[in-house]
Amino acid sequence: MSATPAAPNQTHHALSGTREQWATRAVFLVAGLAMAAWAPLVPFAKARVGVEDGALGLLLLCLGLGSIVAMPITGVLASRFGCRAIIVASTIAVAIVVPFLAVVDTVPGLAIALALFGASVGTVDVAMNIQAVMVEKDSGRNMMSGFHGLFSLGGIVGAGGVSLLLGFGVSPLTATLAISAMLAVLLVYSFSGLLPYGNREAGDTPLFVVPKGIVIFIGLLCFLVFLGEGAILDWSALFLIGTHQVDPVQAGFGYTTFAIAMTLGRLTGDKIVKALGGSKVVVIGGLLAAAGFFLAVFAPAQPLAFAGFLLVGLGASNIVPVLFTAAGNQTRMPASLAIAAITTLGYAGILAGPAAIGFIAQRWTLNTAFILVAVGLVFVAVSWPLTTRRH
């Protein structure tokens, strides 16, 4: 029997291989490195522009708005121009913007810089996940936890590296210039392995589909998990300084502790998911992450507060990869568009959600905000098994 010919408007592409897999890992490293570099800079930026927690929350909202605007557009652009073009352009933009986060000293200037930062990082996030889905399918094995593990490894290098440089007396500007140089090197390394297309078969997938049912719910759960990560990214330093009297130059290590735990969890995540099953990973992980936030809030000593962030990292590490796999397997909408949709909804948590934490901290306390994040993670753990039984 002869093969069915492709429709005239379809373009078939050869399967990706080892080079594309390593390029995908490098891009996840880029995104994690750039995002985490901001964490140790938050207290310095706050002091430089002279704002309180509530105003800082508004500024962080600018970061989230930039990302939320860019993310839906990225799916369309990747379909039209390919992952390579979008990843290259957005990574260059990130490298240019990051140093401005270390020097702008006015509220409007910081707002603009954060919006551009959010838009460029958000664009990288969506494009790299679109590439990751195709590369993973081509490999014939589960690779999503490993890809996200490189994002977390970038978090270690970004937050830990900037914190170390600041601790050694290096200026914030010099530290961010070093980050930009690393982004440029990783981009050059990954270039040849970036996919020049955004869909496996361009004629099969529409440019946009309204998210439906299970996809929206998966996006909500991603939002809650990423909200926890965003809380640590943007607020852990200030939390450790205000609640546990940690030295400001050491406060960035709170996120580093979280990132190390998350990296270890994700790099072993494929084996963990295979052994326990995705549903148990979400339940156990959600409860463990919630316990970590409670420990951080109520810890009587600094080391226990850092241990709380470690528990959050371990618990949350493999929830999102499981949810991404579920989005790729659902049948309500094309898998690539489902991934773009939950990436947009999910990363709104890490980018826009912390702004709400700022308002809660201003109205009540930062401890109250962290407790509410923990409650959201308990909801993730309880609701996911009920959802999988219905689908």
Q: What are 90-140's pLDDT values in tens digits?
A: 999 999 999 999 999 999 999 999 999 999 998 998 899 888 888 888 888
Q: Which residue has the higher pLDDT, 9 or 25?
A: 25
Instruction: Give the pLDDT score at 371.
Output: 95
CB 221 within 8 A of CB 383: yes
Answer whether residue 208 shows pLDDT above 70: no
Residue 4 has pLDDT above 50, yes or no: no
Residues 70/119, Cβ–Cβ less than 8 Å: yes
Name beta bridge partners: 103: none
From residue 327, alpha-carbon distances to 139, 213, 289, 391 in Å are 18, 11, 22, 11
pLDDT above 90 covers a percentage of the chain that reads 40
DSSP one-letter string for 251-262:
TTHHHHHHHHHH
| Predicted confidence band of residue 352 (pLDDT cuts 50, 70, 90) | low
Rounded distance between C-alpha atoms, residue 48 and residue 30, angstroms: 27
| pLDDT band (50, 70, 90) for residue 330 | confident
Q: How is residue 23 annotated by DSSP?
A: H
Give yes or no for residue 72 having a pLDDT over 90.
no
Q: For residues 209-233, give the mean pLDDT.
A: 85
Q: How many CA atoms lie within 13 A of 254 on its CB side?
A: 34
Predicted pLDDT at 206: 57
Between 27-41, 136-150, 164-178, 191-205, the lowest mean confidence (pLDDT) is in: 191-205
Q: How many helices, marked H, and strands, marked E, lie in the chain? A: 17, 0
For the chain, the distance separating the N- and C-terminal CA atoms, rounded to the nearest angstrom, is 36
Domain ranges of the chain: 18-198+208-390
With CA atoms as reference, report the closest residue to 338 among 205, 193, 172, 235.
205
> 68-90: b or e for each residue (b if 16 or more CB lie within 10 Å)?
bebbeebbebbbeebbbbbbbeb
Q: Note the CATH number of domain 18-198+208-390.
A: 1.20.1250.20
**On the CB side of 239, how many CA atoms lie within 13 Å of its CA?**
32
pLDDT above 90: residue 290: yes
What average pLDDT does this structure show over 335-358? 76
Helix, strand, coil shares of the chain as percentages rounded to 5? 80, 0, 20
**Tens digits of residue pLDDT in 138-188:** 888 778 888 988 988 888 889 889 989 998 999 999 999 999 999 999 999
> Considering the entire predicted model, what is its pTM?
0.78
CA dihedral 70, 73, 77, 83 (to 10 degrees): 50
Encoded tokens for 175: 């530290």
Confirm if 133 and 199 have CB atoms less than 8 A apart. Answer: no
